[in-house]
């Protein structure tokens, strides 16, 4: 049975899932220059450490989504967190014991990604299963803020742990993931522990019906989600490199510097979620404004790279823009289907998000951080996404649904 609100323990457990999951990439990004040096790899290869995590996660999410509709959410989330932690241990042990560990590190990252495929999106679906009414937007904003908080802490944590050794961050995953898995298993009672579920043909039929009902609004929302995450992680990989090479920041100081724009993103995500709780008519406006802020900020970055105050301001503005986009996007997509069909929608959304994360760092690295055209192009893409959102996203259509069951 749905509730009007969640207890703090339940909310803390649900928030811990995206917090731990987001460490999968964000904690390693500050250590990328060290990886390049120790492992003898270039920017493209080090970016593949993100791809090796995010691509399997994105591919697995539809399977975890349909399975969660069939057998329940937490029975997927808890074992997935265990696998996530084990993958980190594989990468860490390989780094300690092998002279050329890169291949096995990638294997560990793939295992982590397979685990991550059953975490955040199912936590969002479980939250929507538990809660009814206007507070859903606030709680989804809290999950996005927990995700953002993980991004804030992870560069600091990664930089701090890397002082022990470049491979030490890999071991942190198991230390954090295993207790959260236990908390999910023993601390949450879900109202929908699963039913008969759907066959794959029914799954795709349901997805097709939802897309038919929601039309281009849902597809454009997915596209914006892909672009927002791709831009965010590509930009963070750039920031990791530029802070070390041009501003000569290393270690914890570098981690703190990287945490500033992500802190702005996390605070904006939570604040936006709270603000929109009783203002659903502003969901579309907040999403478009966020993309436009990110577009302008990214376009300004190459113009002020040598400005001590303007450059940080542009970086922070980019974080604010992305932070403003995600809560309304989460609400529009997650609430676009009934409880019985929500696993289908959130699984596709999760796939799109992880594919965006997977694409960002290697694409930014392949084009080259030193090319100013990269930022003009990315800024233009963000602006086009905002225009598409204005033209094609219809919140009323997305938020009003009828069950297909």
**Cα–Cα distances in angstroms (integers) from residue 231 to residues 200, 267, 353, 356, 381, in the given order:** 32, 19, 11, 8, 10
**DSSP assignment, residue 3?**
B
Mean pLDDT value across residues 316-322: 93
What's the pTM value of the predicted model, to 2 decimals?
0.76
Q: Is 177 within the bounds of a domain? A: yes
Is the confidence at residue 293, as pLDDT, over 90? yes
| pLDDT tens-place string over residues 13-22 | 999 998 998 8
| pLDDT tens-place string over residues 137-174 | 778 778 877 877 887 888 899 999 999 999 999 999 98
Q: SS3 helix, strand, coil % of the chain, rounded to 5?
A: 80, 0, 20
**Cα–Cα distances in angstroms (integers) from residue 177 to residues 209, 257, 283, 315, in the given order:** 36, 26, 33, 30
Q: Is 192 within the bounds of a domain? A: no
The token pair at 47 is 């970016």
Structurally, the chain folds into a number of domains equal to 1
Provide the terminal-to-terminal Cα distance of the chain, rounded to the nearest Å: 19
Portion of the chain with pLDDT greater than 70, in percent:
92
Is the confidence at residue 402, as pLDDT, over 60? no
Q: Is 293 within the bounds of a domain? A: yes
Q: Is 326 within the bounds of a domain? A: yes
Domain that holds residue 282: 8-186+205-399
Q: Is 199 within the bounds of a domain? A: no
- pLDDT band for 403, please (50, 70, 90 cuts): very low
Mean pLDDT value across residues 355-368: 83
Is the confidence at residue 199, as pLDDT, over 70? no
| pLDDT tens-place string over residues 116-131 | 887 877 887 788 778 7
- Using CB atoms within 10 Å of the CB of residue 338, give its burial: 0 to 12 exposed, 13 to 18 middle, 19+ buried: middle
Q: Which of 254, 116, 114, 92 is nearest to 175 (CA)?
A: 92
- pLDDT of the residue at 82: 95
Is the confidence at residue 241, as pLDDT, over 80? yes
Is the confidence at residue 352, as pLDDT, over 60? yes
- pLDDT of the residue at 405: 40
- pLDDT band for 200, please (50, 70, 90 cuts): low
Assess contact for 338 and 405: CB atoms under 8 A: yes
Q: Is 256 helix (H, G, I), strand (E, B) or coil?
A: helix
Q: Is 221 within the bounds of a domain? A: yes
Report which of residues 386 and 240 the model is more confident about.
386
| pLDDT tens-place string over residues 74-104 | 889 999 999 999 999 999 999 999 989 999 9
Mean pLDDT value across residues 179-190: 90
Q: What is the C-alpha separation between 247 and 76, in angstroms, rounded? A: 44
Q: Which of 51, 96, 16 is nearest to 355 (CA)?
A: 51
Mean pLDDT value across residues 251-275: 86
Kindly report the average pLDDT of the chain as a whole number. Answer: 85
Q: What is the CATH number of the domain that holds 268?
A: 1.20.1250.20
Q: Is 195 within the bounds of a domain? A: no
**Cα–Cα distances in angstroms (integers) from residue 146 to residues 8, 18, 283, 291, 318, in the given order:** 14, 6, 20, 21, 19
- pLDDT band for 404, please (50, 70, 90 cuts): very low
**Cα–Cα distances in angstroms (integers) from residue 114 to residues 26, 98, 111, 309, in the given order:** 17, 23, 5, 41
Q: Is 144 within the bounds of a domain? A: yes
């Amino acid at each position: 049975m749905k509730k009007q609100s969640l207890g703090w323990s339940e909310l803390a457990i649900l928030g811990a899932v995206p917090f731990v999951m987001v460490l999968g990439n964000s904690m390693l990004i500050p250590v990328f220059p060290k990886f390049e040096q120790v492992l003898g790899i270039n920017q493209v290869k080090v970016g593949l450490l993100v791809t090796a995590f995010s691509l399997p996660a994105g591919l697995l999410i539809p399977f975890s989504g349909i399975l969660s509709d069939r057998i329940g959410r937490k029975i997927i989330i808890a074992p997935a967190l265990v696998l996530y932690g084990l993958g980190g241990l594989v990468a860490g042990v390989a780094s300690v014991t092998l002279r050329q560990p890169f291949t096995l590190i990638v294997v560990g990252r793939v295992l982590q990604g397979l685990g991550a495929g059953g975490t955040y999106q199912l936590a969002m679906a479980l939250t929507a299963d538990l809660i009814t009414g206007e507070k859903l937007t606030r709680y989804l904003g809290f999950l996005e803020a927990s995700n953002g908080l993980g991004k804030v802490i992870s560069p600091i944590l990664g930089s701090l742990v890397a002082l022990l050794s470049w491979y030490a961050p890999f071991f942190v995953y198991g230390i954090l993931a295993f207790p959260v898995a236990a908390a999910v298993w023993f601390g949450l009672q879900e109202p929908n522990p699963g039913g008969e579920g759907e066959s794959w043909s029914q799954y795709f039929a349901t997805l097709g019906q939802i897309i038919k009902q929601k039309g281009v609004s849902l597809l454009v929302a997915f596209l914006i989600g892909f672009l927002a995450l791709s831009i965010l992680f590509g930009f963070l990989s750039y920031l990791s490199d530029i802070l070390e090479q041009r501003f000569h920041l290393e270690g914890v100081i570098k981690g703190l510097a990287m945490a500033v724009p992500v802190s702005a993103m996390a605070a904006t995500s939570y604040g936006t979620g709270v603000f929109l709780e009783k203002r659903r008519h502003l969901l579309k406006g907040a999403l478009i404004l966020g993309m436009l802020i990110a577009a302008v900020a990214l376009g300004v970055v190459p113009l002020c790279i040598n400005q001590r105050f303007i450059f940080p301001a542009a970086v922070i503005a980019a974080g604010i823009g992305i932070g403003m986009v995600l809560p309304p996007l989460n609400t529009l997509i997650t609430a676009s289907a009934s409880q019985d069909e929500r696993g289908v929608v959130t699984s596709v959304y999760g796939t799109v998000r992880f594919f965006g994360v997977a694409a960002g760092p290697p694409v930014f690295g392949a084009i080259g951080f030193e090319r100013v055209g990269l930022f003009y192009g990315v800024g233009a893409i963000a602006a086009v996404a905002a225009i598409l959102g204005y033209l094609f996203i219809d919140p009323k259509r997305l938020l009003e649904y009828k069950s297909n069951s």
